[in-house]
């Protein structure tokens, strides 16, 4: 099942998110840093990123619980699959929490549509300035990366909005019967 890793991330305990993201970031910083390598700095950076990710996921989960209504999210995996795919879950009891979460995801998509273009365009401008000043070929790669991310995120937000619309319409049709 190709979606299994997404299900694991949906239900992962906060300590696993802290350890996984912190260790990954710390190792990347240590291995990509210049000489001399600074182990303490890499460990500290990994710790800070791990803590930030765990806090971010905890806040997101709490807001999702609040948006789902008074009973919260009964099946986190089934709800995440439905939001991701736009398909109805088999359990009709998940319909009310899904409607609240659909509205929350739409708000998130609207804010991402406002924020992402400016953010990645700014990073692209910085990469172009760096390319001109440093005459560095890596900056061309960064500029292409930021442009690619901008296009990808725009397409992904349109796809996500279509999935949410499809899911909401299916829920409304099922409840009308």
For 164-177, what is each residue's pLDDT tens digit? 999 999 999 988 87
140 has pLDDT over 90? no
Same domain, 98 and 23: no
Alpha carbon of 115 to those of 61, 103, 108, 137, 168: distances in Å? Answer: 22, 19, 10, 28, 25
d(Cα 123, Cα 140) in Å, to the nearest integer?
12
Same domain, 61 and 131: no
What residue numbers bound the domain in which 162 lies?
A: 88-177
pLDDT at position 37:
76
Residue 78 in domain: no
pLDDT at position 3:
67
With a CB cutoff of 8 Å and minimum separation 6, the contacts of 106 are: 161, 164
Say how many domains are in the chain: 2
Residue 132 in domain: yes
The reply to whether the predicted model has a pTM over 0.75 is yes
Residue 81 in domain: no
9 has pLDDT over 90? no
- pLDDT tens across 40-88, in order? 888 999 999 999 999 999 999 999 999 998 888 888 888 988 998 888 9
Final residue of a structural domain among 12, 33, 68: 68
């Amino acid at each position: 099942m190709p979606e299994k890793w997404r299900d694991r991330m949906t239900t992962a305990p906060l300590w696993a998110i802290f350890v996984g993201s912190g260790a990954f970031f710390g190792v990347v910083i240590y291995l990509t840093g210049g000489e001399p390598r600074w182990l303490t700095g890499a460990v500290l950076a990994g710790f800070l990123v791990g803590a930030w990710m765990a806090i971010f996921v905890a806040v997101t989960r709490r807001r999702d619980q609040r948006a789902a209504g008074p009973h919260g999210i009964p099946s986190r995996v089934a709800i995440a699959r439905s939001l991701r795919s736009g398909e109805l879950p088999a359990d009709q009891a998940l319909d009310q929490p899904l409607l609240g979460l659909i509205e929350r995801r739409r708000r998130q998509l609207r804010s991402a549509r406002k924020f992402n273009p400016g953010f990645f365009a700014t990073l692209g401008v910085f990469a172009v300035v760096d390319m001109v000043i440093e005459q560095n070929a890596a900056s061309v790669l960064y500029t292409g990366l930021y442009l690619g991310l901008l296009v990808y995120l725009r397409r992904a937000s349109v796809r996500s909005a279509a999935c949410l619309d499809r899911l909401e319409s299916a829920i409304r049709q099922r409840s009308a019967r």
